[in-house]
């Protein structure tokens, strides 16, 4: 079975966690989009009333097309559940996210939610984080200096040879990719991150770093799409 | 002697630290503006050639008017010295900055500089940081949620009753103040900050926090304007 079908199964399984009246954080990326579409179908069938908060302009678009009612985050006094994909998940439910560039809003919502549910296909499960390049969101002002500080910070937490690259709009473009918040992304190839907690703090305190793709204490449930169904892991 | 005259004396004393050929980070706020003007006079007199990097659009304006040549931060392979004011300075050269709303760019430049020199009048010297409300720069997305997390973070580091207010454009305006980077500022009245290092880390790791006004490891020289001259403190 393809990764796409595995993602679809995970997305459908996530509907089980959504209850009537909930405020639901809607993640970004391909798997989250499958969930939003499935959610729209459930709502259209008339047996579920929820309000969604999108983590990106892209997801906002998908939600509108799928008939998922949205509220601005400023109007939410709580977020019951956040449902999102991930680029890597380790055995302690720690994540790398941000491959799609929406990590800041995803983290704000995941962190605010009572419960974060992560949807992945089997390829995203890893023994140790770091094969996927870690996205770090930075303020454009002085980003070349910030990139050097990020390199130093990664070295200081035991990553021997980090490679820090600014993300471009397209592969052959010189223009930097710009996030929904107007920031840049540095993709940091680490190989392996020996101490994710230390890395998270070291990156957060670099001036110019807005946030980073290490989600270390947010996920409570991981739904893994497999060839013949889903595996549900709960903390 | 007034605080203004004390600031003027500090600004003039700072010129001693500027050497020919240096790249100089130009701080923001009233004291830094006095320094930039004094620097312009030295340059006009023909005995100093430097390049400045401004920490705000406001300072950029002052520098242009004062004839201080500027380079974009992206073109600086180093910053020799950063010269800036502060809202509070404690006995260990730790600062609260950001009263003027330029803390992010100020911190990026102070942190990148080989040496940061702080200019203050006597009223800014404190035994312990925290009487001045601590500015925290946040992404506008979900800022009400971020404000709650900031409150919790301050409580967790021993600040009993923090008061977290969004900064407005004017006193009677409902519109939030917007930084040069497009972010909001939360002014956090702490009374006293018992553990500034812990507070700095706790704030930095809150999703949505871009940076905060605690400058804990940047200042190397503090020039204090006094009634009859300046006092120079070096670490």
Beta-sheet pairing, A184-189 with A163-166: antiparallel
pTM assigned to the model = 0.96
The CA distance from B120 to B123, in Å, is 8
- Residues B106 and B200 placed together within one structural domain of the fold: no
- Residues A115 and A155 placed together within one structural domain of the fold: no
What is the pLDDT, as a whole number, of residue A1? 58
- Residues A120 and A29 placed together within one structural domain of the fold: yes
- Residues B184 and B227 placed together within one structural domain of the fold: no
Picking from B141, B181, B211, the nearest residue to A105 by CB comes out as: B141
- Residues A122 and A139 placed together within one structural domain of the fold: no
Contact criterion met (CB < 8 Å) for A107 and B207: yes
Is the pLDDT reported for residue B4 higher than 80? Answer: no
Which strand (E) or helix (H) includes residue B7? helix B3-14
What is the pLDDT, as a whole number, of residue B1? 58
What is the pLDDT, as a whole number, of residue A2? 75
What is the pLDDT, as a whole number, of residue A108? 98
Rg over CA atoms, chain A: 18
Cross-strand partners of B136? B186, B212
> Helix or strand or coil: residue B53?
strand
What is the pLDDT, as a whole number, of residue B65? 98
What is the pLDDT, as a whole number, of residue B111? 97
- Residues B73 and B89 placed together within one structural domain of the fold: yes
Predicted ipTM beyond 0.90: yes
What is the pLDDT, as a whole number, of residue B77? 83
DSSP string, chain A: --HHHHHHHHHHHHGGG--TT-EEEE--SHHHHHHHHHHHHHHHTTS---EEEESSHHHHHHHHHHT--B--GGG-S-EEEEEE--SEE-TTS-EE--TTS-HHHHHHHHHHEEEEEEEEEGGGB-SSS-SSPEEEEE-STTHHHHHHHHHHHHHHTT-SS-EEEEPBSSTT--SBP--TTS-EEEEEE-S--S-HHHHHHHHHTSTTEEEESEE-S-EEEEEEEETTEEEEEE-
User: Which residues form the domain of A164?
Assistant: 134-208
What is the pLDDT, as a whole number, of residue B131? 97
Residues of chain A with pLDDT under 50: none
- Residues A197 and A227 placed together within one structural domain of the fold: no
Is the pLDDT reported for residue B165 higher than 70? Answer: yes
The CA distance from A162 to B59, in Å, is 35
Please give the share of chain B, as a percent, with pLDDT higher than 70.
Answer: 100
What is the pLDDT, as a whole number, of residue B213? 98
- Residues A82 and A159 placed together within one structural domain of the fold: no
- B65 is an active site residue: no
Is the pLDDT reported for residue B3 higher than 90? Answer: no
The CA distance from B67 to B23, in Å, is 15
What is the pLDDT, as a whole number, of residue B56? 96
Picking from B200, B204, B207, the nearest residue to A108 by CB comes out as: B207
Residue in chain A closest to B72 (alpha carbons) equals A142
Which CA distances in Å does A147 have to A17, A136, B135, B182?
40, 9, 25, 20
Task: Look up residue B8 and give its DSSP letter.
Answer: H
Residues of A in contact with B76 (CB under 8 A): 145
- Residues A138 and A40 placed together within one structural domain of the fold: no
CATH number of domain containing A10: 3.40.50.1360
- Residues B25 and B139 placed together within one structural domain of the fold: no
- Residues A202 and A140 placed together within one structural domain of the fold: yes
Residues of A in contact with B214 (CB under 8 A): none
Q: What is the mean pLDDT of chain B?
A: 96
Residue of B106, B196, B210 to mutate, testing the A interface (most A Cβ within 10 Å of its Cβ): B210
pLDDT digits (tens, 9 = 90+) for B57-74: 999 999 999 999 999 999
pLDDT digits (tens, 9 = 90+) for A152-206: 999 999 999 999 999 999 888 889 999 999 999 999 999 999 999 999 999 999 9
A122-A127-A129 Cα angle (round to 5): 95
Which band of pLDDT confidence, cut at 50, 70 and 90, is reported for residue B103? very high
CATH number of domain containing B143: 3.30.70.260
pLDDT digits (tens, 9 = 90+) for B26-60: 999 999 999 999 999 999 999 899 999 999 999 99
- Residues A69 and A8 placed together within one structural domain of the fold: yes
Residue of B107, B113, B139, B197 to mutate, testing the A interface (most A Cβ within 10 Å of its Cβ): B139
Summarize the confidence of residues B84-92 as an average pLDDT: 97
DSSP string, B57-72: HHHHHHHHHHT--B--
Structural domain total, chain B? 2
């Amino acid at each position: 079975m393809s990764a796409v079908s595995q993602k679809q199964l995970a997305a459908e399984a996530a509907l089980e966690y959504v209850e009537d009246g909930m405020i639901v954080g809607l993640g970004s990326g391909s798997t989250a989009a499958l969930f939003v579409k499935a959610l729209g179908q459930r709502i259209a069938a008339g047996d579920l009333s929820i309000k969604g908060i999108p983590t990106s302009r892209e997801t906002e678009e998908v939600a509108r097309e799928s008939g998922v009612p949205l509220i601005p985050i400023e109007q939410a006094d709580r977020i019951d559940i956040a449902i999102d994909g991930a680029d890597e998940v380790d055995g302690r439910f720690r994540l790398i996210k941000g491959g799609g560039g929406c990590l800041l809003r995803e983290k704000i919502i995941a962190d605010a939610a009572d419960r974060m549910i992560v949807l992945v296909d089997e390829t995203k499960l890893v023994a140790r984080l770091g094969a996927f390049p870690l996205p770090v969101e930075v303020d454009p002002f002085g980003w070349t200096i910030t990139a050097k500080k990020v390199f130093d910070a990664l070295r200081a937490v035991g990553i021997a040879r980090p490679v820090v690259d600014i993300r471009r709009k397209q592969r052959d473009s010189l223009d930097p990719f710009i996030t929904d918040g107007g920031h840049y992304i540095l993709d940091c190839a680490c190989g392996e991150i020996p101490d994710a907690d230390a890395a998270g703090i070291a990156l957060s305190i670099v001036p110019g770093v807005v946030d980073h793709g290490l989600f270390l204490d947010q996920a409570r449930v991981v739904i893994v799409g497999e060839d013949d169904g889903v595996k549900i892991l709960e903390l």
